[in-house]
Amino acid sequence: MSDPQPPAPRWVPAPDVTYTKLDEEEAVLLNLETKQYFSLNETGLLIWERLQEQSALADVAAALSQSYDVEQEAALRYVRRFVETLRQDGLVTAQAPS
């Protein structure tokens, strides 16, 4: 019998990142430490707001799947890729599950 997998971390916005919503379709992220600036489109905005709520990636994917009528598995792959991009840019950090 294999050892149980540890629970996956939650990804949350990094503390030095400011989120500013321009309208329902666009938002910008400003990393106050690196001074880098990022734009979010409608999909990115949906994902980011779920991450702010400390949602698990599966739940983020479910929201995406519902909003855009895509398969849950495809949505989850997209969310994982997007969060990895955010992680590489220092915009999200891992939070240990409680």
Partner 1 sequence: MKQQVQISFPGAQAQVRWEAAAVGRALRDIFRYFGIAAEPPGEETSETSAARVTLRFSSTETVSVPQGAVRAASFDAGITAWRAEGRVFLTTEGAAAGGPAVRLDPAAGAGVGGVGALFREAPGQKRLPVARHRELTGLLVLSLFILLRRHGLYPLHAAALGTEDGGAGVLFIGASGAGKSTLAYSLVREGWAYLSDDSVLLRPGPAGVEALPFRRKFGLEPEAAEAAFPELASAWGPRLTGTDKRSLAVSKLRPAQAATRCLPRVLIFPEIADRPESELRPVGKAEAMHATTGQSALVTLGPDWAPRHLSVLVRLIGHTQHFRLLAGRDLRNDPAHVAGLIGPLLHRSDAHAATGNAP
Which residues lie near partner 1 (CB under 8 A)?
15-16, 18, 20-23, 26, 28, 30, 32, 35, 37, 39
Torsion of CA 9, 61, 75, 57, to 10 degrees: 0
Residues pairing with 90 in the sheet: none
Choice between 41 and 66, CB closer to partner 1: 41
Nearest approach in angstroms of CB 35 to partner 1 is 5
Nearest approach in angstroms of CB 46 to partner 1 is 16
Tracing tokens 């980011």 back to the chain, one arrives at: 48
Choice between 24 and 69, CB closer to partner 1: 24
Nearest approach in angstroms of CB 36 to partner 1 is 10
Region label for 16, one of left (φ > 0), alpha (ψ between -120 and 50) or beta (otherwise): alpha
Helix and strand tally (H, E) in the chain? 3, 5
Choice between 32 and 74, CB closer to partner 1: 32
